[in-house]
Structure 1
Amino acid sequence: MPVLPGAEPYRHEGGEVGVLLCHGFTGSPQSLRPWAEYLADRGLTVSLPLLPGHGTRWEDLQVTGWQDWYAEVERELRALLERCTEVFVLGLSMGGALTLRLAARHGDEVRGIVLVNPANKVHGLAAHALPLARHLVPSTKGIASDIALEGSEEIGYDRVPLHAAHSMRRFFQRLDRELPQVTQPLLLLHSPQDHVVPPADSARILSRVSSTDVTESILEQSYHVATLDHDADRIFEESYAFIGRLAPSVGKEGTATGG
């Protein structure tokens, strides 16, 4: 199945500091592409993969599960670790959950993590109905393009496949038990007005991780897909500063820039 125009994965060969970006459920690399290009322009090695079942049609996502999505980002992490001295992982929404699991399982191999409106739970009555409903109804209304900025659009599915949503719910439950294993420096940016993931998810994550170097930043002007919203530049700048603080070679000629 051909990938939707704009939803392609993105990679950039830069310096010794690498960054892995993880997109969200039913979304695509397009939602993080400006962020990835911002970091690439500053000399970092960047990987922004397309998760299995995403970026084509929702029916393709229906036959995948969390193990497939996690395996993809873990492959990308291992590839970055082979060529970079320090690697950071960044994620939006479910991509934030994937980021947290990579951090929990890979320890010091992950130098730091950045989360934007990370998801931790499937909320509401629908969550409890998923185990049965997924056998009766294939999909429900989509969740893409929760963006305050007029004219900004996310390339994502207009339907949510329920088998995949059920798998994501089980992933969140498993991850919640693993959060205390997360010890890396953490930058968390979240929107008070988010119509997909409530602020309670960010609060839960902060209460469960073991990280001591934690920075929380509030995105007052943005909705869920904040990387394409009013606060996008702020996300890019704060994440780059966070990486630079932990990897001082970033931005210095002859190291991260390869000059």
Structure 2
Amino acid sequence: MQITYKVPDFNEHHYQDKAPVRKCARPWAMVHARSVRKAVLLCHGFTGYPGELIRPGIDLFAAGFDVYCPRYPGHGTSAKDFLASKAEDWIGTAYDAFAYLAQRYDHVSLVGHSMGGAIAAIIADAFDADALALLAPALVIPSLQVTQVRVLRHFVKRRKVAWQADPDYHFHHEGDADDDAFLGSQYWSYQYPKGIWELERVRRQAVACIDHLAADTLSISGGKDPTIPQEASVLATSKSKGVNKHLHIPEAGHLMPYDKNMDAQNEAMAAVVAWMEGKR
């Protein structure tokens, strides 16, 4: 795997994390030795990290694209950093990364997973990107109790939820042995009303972009996704501009870039690469 962790500091103008970045969460890039003119920006999800998107990076790099995956402030470090960061920091980091790539490549496209799908839609609209691929985009989130969260974020720091590591997931990234356990203890073992409210702010901004989003858009939904329904992909691809396609994979879960079902994972990744290659 030809990967480098020496990437520009796309977080420079946004919240500065206080805790160290976990090894799995380092921003990364896959860049060809010989210059190419097309790049893809990958956007990870809410409480996620760049290492989760290594698989689409590998496939896109093999197809001839340079690939970059920034890390949002507050992600992959600590719960304290997470609560100190905001939607503007997350969106702003992706915006600055795209702006950097747009100055260096003829064509820059986006792939986003979950909240990263919502962020990718915002950035694609801001820059009039040509192509956009969304994996379970967080445009519709039935579990969000917006009215309750709007109030609770001022009074409740966190709520304990059940989480445990799932050994059936096989990751593609390089990391430390305890990365999953540590991030689970910081992020996935709790609900943070303040963080959820920032997610809702991202979601609203993304939905507001849909009607005038011109990028050719592929959106993939999973039949075994407990978080994001098909409705989100229907929303993303029902817009009037661009060429749009909704692919539903019945056996796919929410974590498509490293889905436990390899057939579903492979189908999703192949569809993303084909879309980026212009196979509409």
TM-score bracket for this pair, using the shorter chain length: 0.7 to 0.9
1-structure distance, mates of 2:126, 2:214: 10
Q: Structure 1 residues 68-77 or 32-41, which shifts more?
A: 32-41
Q: Structure 1 residues 135-144 or 163-172, which shifts more?
A: 135-144
2-structure distance, mates of 1:160, 1:219: 28
Q: Deviations over 1:12-34 (max 9, x none)?
A: 22321100000000011121112
Q: 1:170 aligns with which of 173, 188, 201?
A: 201
TM-score (norm 2): 0.79
3-state SS of the aligned residue for 2:247? strand
2-structure distance, mates of 1:134, 1:181: 32
**1:210 corresponds to 2:229:** no
2-structure distance, mates of 1:56, 1:125: 24
Letter in 2 for 1:85: D
Q: Unpaired segments of 5 or more residues in structure 1?
A: 248-259
**1:8 corresponds to 2:26:** yes
**1:21 corresponds to 2:72:** no
Letter in 1 for 2:145: A
Q: 2:155 aligns with which of 136, 150, 159?
A: 136
CA shift, 1:212, in A, is 3.7
**CA, structure 1 residues 141+18, in 2 after alignment: closer, same or farther (shift >3 Å)?**
farther
Q: Structure 1 residues 234-243 or 45-54, which shifts more?
A: 234-243
Alignment of 1:61-140 (within 5 A): 61-107=82-128, 110-124=129-143, 126-140=145-159
2-structure distance, mates of 1:96, 1:141: 27
CA shift, 1:246, in A, is 6.3
2-structure distance, mates of 1:182, 1:165: 25
3-state SS of the aligned residue for 1:84? coil
**CA, structure 1 residues 142+16, in 2 after alignment: closer, same or farther (shift >3 Å)?**
farther
Letter in 2 for 1:174: Q
Which residue is equivalent to 2:68?
47
Whether contact under 8 Å (2:38, 2:65) holds in the other structure is yes
2-structure distance, mates of 1:95, 1:37: 18
Which residue is equivalent to 2:273?
240
Number of matched residues?
243
CA shift, 1:141, in A, is 4.9
Q: Deviations over 1:179-232 (max 9, x none)?
A: 11111111111102211222222223333x333411221122221111111222
Whether contact under 8 Å (1:143, 1:196) holds in the other structure is no
Runs (4+) of structure 1 moved beyond 4 Å?
A: 141-147, 153-156
3-state SS of the aligned residue for 2:145? helix
2-structure distance, mates of 1:62, 1:96: 21
**CA, structure 1 residues 238+161, in 2 after alignment: closer, same or farther (shift >3 Å)?**
same
2-structure distance, mates of 1:145, 1:114: 30
Q: Deviations over 1:62-105 (max 9, x none)?
A: 11111100110011101111111111100000000001111222
Letter in 1 for 2:60: L
Whether contact under 8 Å (1:116, 1:190) holds in the other structure is yes
2-structure distance, mates of 1:145, 1:42: 36
Whether contact under 8 Å (2:157, 2:194) holds in the other structure is yes
CA RMSD of aligned residues (A): 2.5
Whether contact under 8 Å (2:139, 2:207) holds in the other structure is yes
TM-score (norm 1): 0.85
CA shift, 1:59, in A, is 2.1
**Relative contact order: is structure 1 or structure 2 higher (C-alpha 8 Å, sep ≥ 6)?**
1
Which residue is equivalent to 2:258?
228
Which residue is equivalent to 1:180?
211
CA shift, 1:138, in A, is 1.0
Whether contact under 8 Å (2:143, 2:227) holds in the other structure is no
CA shift, 1:146, in A, is 10
